[in-house]
Amino acid sequence: MGGAKTDQNLLAKAAGWLVGNWKGRGVWRFQDDAPMAGTMAVRWVAMGSFLEIAEAVRNTGGEIVHEDLLVLQALADGTLCAHHHMEGVITPFAVSSEGSTLSYRPASGEEGPSWSHRRTDEGVDLRLWFADPSGDPQITFSYLPD
């Protein structure tokens, strides 16, 4: 069976700090600044070849309003990539790592959602833009260790 070989050391260095269970609070600015609560579970899978990030977001009534799964991989050529699974659709993303921030953008190069995970002293901040990442994010979250 063919496929892209992973570079486990690169992935551990770039994103290993995300591993763990996280709880957070955030705001959906695109829905009148609706307050949300989220959980993020990050774990190594396939003998450390991939990093799996499962996120669930609940509204103030406790109802799940969003769930997704992201699978991160570091390729042998030194690049990072991710496959985003949501509502039956799998979308590839290019991933860059700079300091304490992982940034995700559509692998196609077309305009689309982009986001970042940034390590902070307390936990992880998530910022998401539906289109242009140079403006204010439409979704913001701060996650703390659970």
Give 28's strand partners. Answer: 34, 139
Q: How far apart (Å, rounded) are the C-alpha atoms in residues 108 and 54?
A: 23
Let me know: does 118 contact 137? Beta carbons within 8 Å.
no
pLDDT in tens, 107-141: 998 889 999 999 999 999 999 999 878 889 999 99
- Reply yes or no on whether the pLDDT at 63 is more than 50: yes
- Reply yes or no on whether the pLDDT at 1 is more than 60: no
The domains located in the chain, with CATH, are: 8-145 (2.40.128.20)
pLDDT in tens, 66-108: 999 999 999 888 899 999 999 999 999 999 999 999 999 999 9
Let me know: does 40 contact 124? Beta carbons within 8 Å.
yes
pTM of the model: 0.92
Let me know: does 126 contact 143? Beta carbons within 8 Å.
yes
Q: Summarize the confidence of residues 41-46 as an average pLDDT.
A: 96
